[in-house]
Amino acid sequence: MQIGCTDAPYLCADLKYIYNHQYENMSYFETILQKRGLEECPLPLWKLKITEEEFKELRDLLEKRTHVINLNNPFITVCKEATLFFAEYWRRMYVDGKHSKQMVYDALESTRPSVNYSNEFYEAARRGAKMLKIEKYDGGRADPLNDMLYQGGLPMKLVTANITNSVWDRFTRGLVNRKINFEELNLGLVASQSKCMKDYCEQLILGVEAERYLLMPFYCANENDVWFLYLKELAKQEKVRRHQLHPFSLTWEFRIDTVEKKIYTKYIVKGLQRLPQVFLEEQGIDDIGFFSVQVRKNGQAVDTFDYANNFCRYPVFSKHPCENGDFISLFLHNQEYAHIGDNLDISVPHLLYRNKDGKYELGNQLGRQESIILIPDGWNLQTETNLDIYEYSWGMTKLQGLHIPADYTDNIVLKGEDGCITLGMNAPLYWTELQSSPLYVPDVIESLYDANKCAFTLCYDTEDGTESKRHNVQYRNKWQNVWTDTPSFGEIFARAIDTNGNYVAPLRFINIGEGLVISLQKADKSSCQIKVSWAHGHVSTTEGEKKIGDVWEIKKENCNDPRKIRFTFTPSGNSKNQFDISIKAPFKDFSIKNIYGDDIENDCWIPYSDIDKYQYHLVGQDIREYTYGNVRRELRWKGEKLYIFEDGRARKTIPYEGSLLTLFDSREAIRSLLERTAQNMLNAEVNVQFVLSNGQRIAFGIKESPFRPRQISDGRVVITGKNRKPFKFTGVLKLIKLDEPNLEPLEMKYDEESQYYILPEEIRSWGKTILVGRTRGRICPALVDLTKDMNGSYRAENRENAILNIREKLNDSLLGDELWTRIIGWFNRAQQEDIPASSILELYCTAQDYKALLCLAFQLYVKCSDNDEREILKEKLKSFSNDLAFQWYWLQPYLSGIFIQLQNFMSDPMTPAMQDIFIKWAMSHEGEDMMKYLSALNVEEEYMKNLVQCLYDVLTSFTEWIKDLCVSSLIEAYGYVSHGLVEELAETIIKKPKEIRLLELSTDEYIESNQDYLGDEVGTFFNNFNEQGKVGNEMWLYKRVNAVVAHIRKEIDLFSIKDEIQRDKIRRSIIFCSKSCNRHFIVALNNKLSH
């Protein structure tokens, strides 16, 4: 309601009071509350989530008040509305400049510029703030202006400005990383202390992480809200960035059994499949084409991840149970010292929080998540509380567990012999980390250190850390509570010193120092003699008898564990610091043990991915010969060292006990031999044979996913090995619904009672289901179905019908439809679970059609957020092609008209798939352009107009990207990356085929590679591509080069060779040829195409 008063100069205070009181219930502010079903206004004001329409109405209402004449304050009737406008202006409109009341008043855009009511507007807003009881922070002086502005939360135009490396860009990136830092913004004390600003940030983080627009602290009409889309995509980009800065991590997972009162622990090592270049350079491995990353528990390999051309083809993830005292480490390449390593020291309290899976992780989430404090012996609870506390067992260790509900906000104080520790919502945790690697002592299982050469770090639970100087570290013996600056020998504690006097959790380790000598003197099957001496104390063992010269004679029958010998070390003058170490038992023997610790059977299969987990032991004898593929080697003892010999020369020394992988150099060497067979996953095998000096033979085969599940009666599943014999396997299996690969898999455990796996009844409604192993590379995926009798004839008929059905649907498919959703779902699932792509028929059929491959690559490409994701996608697609026996450079004939190839897969531009492409494209722009394009999603005419430019830009960049993928595919080689001239030739072949020129060579170089006989039909195919004047290995190479030339010239089609078995062999033979002699292959291909 408006009042114009022309007869009186002003309204008296009483009249204004009566007016306000009479019409309060009819105010615009009140209608906003009524729309939301609110009786009271929530605070902060951003919780009202004012819509765009309501903000326009609010501004119009307040602008009209500027036309009211002869009032002392025309806004006195709309005080709350004025307050709300200050908050909304800050969030919606503020972009720059000093905060002022004039700035906000100008935003009303009054059409009566001759009158300035900015003071009146501000005073009315102040009154409204008092009515609403808005929070105030004096900070030495009153600041009501900022109090009202900050009720709007954050200035979203600045938050979403996307100006690289600006102050607000850094703040926003920190925000989506859960790091709220107002300091750099220079907004003053009010902002840094404002609860409403912090709550706004927390709510924004919650909405972004959940990817739910309804949870955002501002109104979103739908999931296409511009601010929501920007923040959601930015959060995804930042997640990738965090991983790049820290490519490997070691964490712990706890399962708390509240019934049995037991605690179970697993370590988790994660890494990036593609490592950042800066990380490679720092580690000195940027020029190495192939290297390995190995996870070890107590010095023994548990998992190994091979990086070829800086990419690991399967997820880098290692998760296994661990016990008190287990040391977990990660080693890069052939470095002697661990890159990261840690153990759980349960002698100090640990604060855990419950994650979404019901497990517990280390960290402070008090007041936010259900938590538990593990309290070891020697620590006492000082806080009086009614919280539940129970006694738990972690192995042989007894702990108190203090259970804390999610809404508990008080501090908890614990007291131990080293001081008091305070745990609370805002109480940082401090602990000591050892930055140095253990000493390299390959014969010892435990980790040993030289404290005088160690570096320590003082760490905070904020993930920030500062290196401690040498004099800022203190040590104590394990049996004392007195800290000194000098380390003792033996089992000791170390702690970094916090200058503010906060409690810092120490760490425990064995300080062995220098002067440890361990050497094998002699051994037979039942006894051995080992020299063990230590310069800093006394050595003893209960498992052997001491001879002269610090030599110990050990009989196998006296060992508690025949695989290791326990020695006790007692430091001189400090007997209470004694400690035990385990030396690997060097009894005369040659054995290979599986993952269960049992000797392998002769003529068995070993999974390709498990070579690092199988252990060899060789003492007291030589291996006269061992062969794998076309490689022939020996193992010989010379003095006290064991050597690998090849071609009469010593290659390297190896420990007498270690990972079987050591004998083959790397899994890449084995993979190349598997590919040399030109067989698919089911048939490819590398035969290995050891011949001992006494003539004894041990043989086995290395295969990828060798163990096959077989569904028998009553829903039972048995695992079979070589010759389809039942095989001992008790690992967890996974069940994936065939039609919905994005559905979370079900896990199926081995049934000890029946000694079978039993398919759960809940998958009956799924029908066809894919069964895979939880651990990669052991179980060959298989189809199971509780509604069918899964005999051989049914499987063959089902496969044939399914292939025909998928191919038919591919011909009529569209981007984002049900079929492509399933194909992309299986692509992602296969990458995530390391499922061979060749075992999934949807992926198999895609690989037989070049148009489908282009469509698949395009849909995966447009989902990438940045160049790093696109680079990782290239490597994923190359491993995909290796599984499915094709190479991406075979698409070369079809790269000149990609839009024509893809247009049949595009239809309605309003489909979610097309809109997703548009959103990604819009997000690639900055500032106003980005906002303009995102806003077009809500205006069909604008959307259609911009979509044309979007598709042009996206298809242009995709064309360049897939050409790079083809070049990368063409120069792919075993163990190295082709550079220089070869890469230039590949670039020309793929990107500028009209510029191919003959490269003159002075002489033909010798081709070392070749393959065994692949069968008459394969031989007949390649005989069509003979090269005049070539023989032997050169002829083998040129036949395959000429076949590719014929494909590029569209004389044949390598994608559509009819016979499935022969097609697979032909294509795999070409791939092996290209990768095993890449330089010769590319030069020959270039010269043949130049004619």
User: Tell me, what's the pLDDT at 242?
Assistant: 66
In a domain, 295, yes or no: yes
Domain end call among 744, 763, 790: 790
Q: Is the pLDDT of residue 17 over 50?
A: no
Three-state SS string over 67-93 comes to CCCCCCCCCCCCHHHHHHHHHHHHHHC
User: Tell me, what's the pLDDT at 4?
Assistant: 39
Confidence of residue 1002 (pLDDT cuts 50, 70, 90): low
Pinpoint the alpha helices (H) of 689-791: none
User: Tell me, what's the pLDDT at 7?
Assistant: 36
More confident residue, 1010 or 63: 63
Q: Which of these ranges, 266-280, 381-395, 531-545, has the smallest mean pLDDT? A: 266-280
Assess whether 695 and 610 both reside in one domain: yes
Q: Helix (H, G, I), strand (E, B), or coil: what is residue 690?
A: strand
Assess whether 24 and 122 both reside in one domain: yes
Instruction: Give the burial string for 606-634 (b: 16+ CB within 10 Å, else e).
Output: bbbbbbbbbbbbbbbbbbebbebbeeebb
- Say if residues 1049 and 1042 touch (Cβ distance below 8 Å): no
Q: Which phi and psi (to 5°) does residue 193 adopt?
A: -105, -5
* Angstrom distance (rounded) from CA 816 to CA 917: 11
Q: Is the pLDDT of residue 649 over 80?
A: yes
Which of 587, 636, 616 lies closest to 698, judged by CA?
A: 616
User: Tell me, what's the pLDDT at 178?
Assistant: 73
Q: Is the pLDDT of residue 976 over 80?
A: no
Q: Is the pLDDT of residue 1040 over 50?
A: yes
Q: Is the pLDDT of residue 591 over 60?
A: yes
Domain end call among 530, 561, 584: 584
Average pLDDT, the chain: 87
Assess whether 30 and 141 both reside in one domain: yes
* Angstrom distance (rounded) from CA 672 to CA 882: 11
Q: Is the pLDDT of residue 49 over 80?
A: yes
- Say if residues 79 and 124 touch (Cβ distance below 8 Å): yes
Q: Helix (H, G, I), strand (E, B), or coil: what is residue 905?
A: helix
Q: Is 916 exposed, middle or buried (0-12, 13-18, 19+ CB in 10 A)?
A: middle
Residue 577 per-residue DSSP state = G
More confident residue, 619 or 42: 42
Three-state SS string over 369-422 comes to CCEEEEECCCCEECCCCCCCEEEEEECCEEEEEEEECCCCCCCEEEEECCEEEE
Q: Is the pLDDT of residue 867 over 90?
A: no
Looking at the DSSP bridge assignments, the partners of residue 493 are: 476, 508
Find the mean pLDDT for residues 600-624: 87
Find the mean pLDDT for residues 34-59: 93
Looking at the DSSP bridge assignments, the partners of residue 307 are: 291
More confident residue, 968 or 69: 968
Which of 536, 531, 666, 659 lies closest to 594, judged by CA?
A: 659
* Angstrom distance (rounded) from CA 153 to CA 174: 16
* Angstrom distance (rounded) from CA 32 to CA 647: 87
Judging by DSSP bridges, how do beta strands 516-523 and 782-784 pair with one another?
unpaired
Instruction: Give the burial string for 1037-1049 (b: 16+ CB within 10 Å, else e).
Output: bbbbbbbbbbbbe
Which of 302, 297, 299, 291 lies closest to 332, judged by CA?
A: 291
Assess whether 910 and 943 both reside in one domain: yes
Q: Is the pLDDT of residue 899 over 90?
A: no
Assess whether 686 and 538 both reside in one domain: no
In a domain, 210, yes or no: yes
For 425-446, what is each residue's pLDDT tens digit?
Answer: 888 788 888 877 788 887 888 8
* Angstrom distance (rounded) from CA 683 to CA 219: 59
- Say if residues 345 and 431 touch (Cβ distance below 8 Å): no
Assess whether 801 and 914 both reside in one domain: yes
Q: Which of these ranges, 114-123, 242-251, 828-837, 847-856, has the smallest mean pLDDT? A: 242-251
Q: Is 1051 exposed, middle or buried (0-12, 13-18, 19+ CB in 10 A)?
A: exposed
Q: Is the pLDDT of residue 1088 over 90?
A: yes
Query: Which residues, 6 or more positions from 655, have their beta carbon under 8 angstroms from its beta carbon?
Result: 442, 443, 584, 642, 662
Q: Which phi and psi (to 5°) does residue 896 adopt?
A: -80, -15
In a domain, 1082, yes or no: yes
For 977-997, what is each residue's pLDDT tens digit?
Answer: 667 888 999 999 999 999 999
For 165-181, what is each residue's pLDDT tens digit?
Answer: 788 888 888 888 777 77
Which of 384, 382, 383, 387 lies closest to 371, judged by CA?
A: 387
User: Tell me, what's the pLDDT at 22?
Assistant: 40
Three-state SS string over 194-237 comes to CHHHHHHHHHHHHHHHHCCHHHCCCCCCCCCCHHHHHHHHHHHH
* Angstrom distance (rounded) from CA 972 to CA 981: 14
Query: Which residues, 6 or more positions from 467, have their beta carbon under 8 angstroms from its beta carbon?
Result: 435, 455, 456, 457, 458
Q: Is the pLDDT of residue 682 over 60?
A: yes
Q: Which domain holds residue 139?
A: 13-152
- Say if residues 781 and 772 touch (Cβ distance below 8 Å): yes
Assess whether 929 and 838 both reside in one domain: yes
User: Tell me, what's the pLDDT at 188?
Assistant: 63
Which of 950, 961, 943, 777 lies closest to 870, judged by CA?
A: 961
Which of 222, 226, 179 lies closest to 202, judged by CA?
A: 179
Assess whether 805 and 941 both reside in one domain: yes
More confident residue, 459 or 554: 554
Percent share of the chain, pLDDT over 70: 94
* Angstrom distance (rounded) from CA 367 to CA 803: 54
| 337 Cα distance to chain centroid | 24
Tokens of 842: 């949807």
Domain end call among 119, 152, 185: 152
Q: Is the pLDDT of residue 263 over 80?
A: yes
Assess whether 757 and 816 both reside in one domain: no
* Angstrom distance (rounded) from CA 178 to CA 196: 16
Confidence of residue 346 (pLDDT cuts 50, 70, 90): confident
List, edge to edge, every strand of the sheet that includes 564-571: 537-540, 564-571, 579-584
* Global pTM exceeds 0.85: no
* Angstrom distance (rounded) from CA 354 to CA 764: 33
In a domain, 452, yes or no: no
User: Tell me, what's the pLDDT at 44?
Assistant: 93
For the chain, the residue count is: 1091
In a domain, 1053, yes or no: yes
* Angstrom distance (rounded) from CA 734 to CA 726: 19
For 451-509, what is each residue's pLDDT tens digit?
Answer: 988 888 888 765 444 443 444 789 998 777 789 989 999 889 999 888 778 888 888 88
* Angstrom distance (rounded) from CA 695 to CA 624: 8
Judging by DSSP bridges, how do beta strands 604-607 and 697-703 pair with one another?
parallel
* Angstrom distance (rounded) from CA 78 to CA 88: 15
Query: Which residues, 6 or more positions from 753, have their beta carbon under 8 angstroms from its beta carbon?
Result: none
User: Tell me, what's the pLDDT at 597?
Assistant: 83
In a domain, 919, yes or no: yes
Assess whether 814 and 942 both reside in one domain: yes
Assess whether 807 and 955 both reside in one domain: yes
Assess whether 1030 and 986 both reside in one domain: yes
Q: Is the pLDDT of residue 577 over 90?
A: no
Query: Which residues, 6 or more positions from 249, have their beta carbon under 8 angstroms from its beta carbon?
Result: 268, 269, 270, 271, 340
Rounded to whole angstroms, the maximal C-alpha distance in the chain is 123
* CA R_g for the chain: 35
In a domain, 368, yes or no: no
**358 C-beta neighbours (distance < 10 Å), count:** 9
Q: Is the pLDDT of residue 9 over 60?
A: no
Q: Helix (H, G, I), strand (E, B), or coil: what is residue 733?
A: strand
Confidence of residue 288 (pLDDT cuts 50, 70, 90): confident
Confidence of residue 681 (pLDDT cuts 50, 70, 90): confident
User: To which H or E segment does residue 637 belong?
Assistant: strand 631-638
Which of 809, 789, 786 lies closest to 797, judged by CA?
A: 789
Tokens of 839: 């075992």
For the chain, the domain total comes to: 8
In a domain, 769, yes or no: yes
Instruction: Report CA-CA distances (Å) from 494 to 417, 434, 436, 491, 914.
Output: 14, 9, 13, 10, 59
Tokens of 332: 């890069």
* Angstrom distance (rounded) from CA 712 to CA 786: 10
For 183-241, what is each residue's pLDDT tens digit?
Answer: 777 776 667 777 888 899 989 988 998 889 999 999 999 999 999 999 998 888 777 66
Find the mean pLDDT for residues 296-321: 85
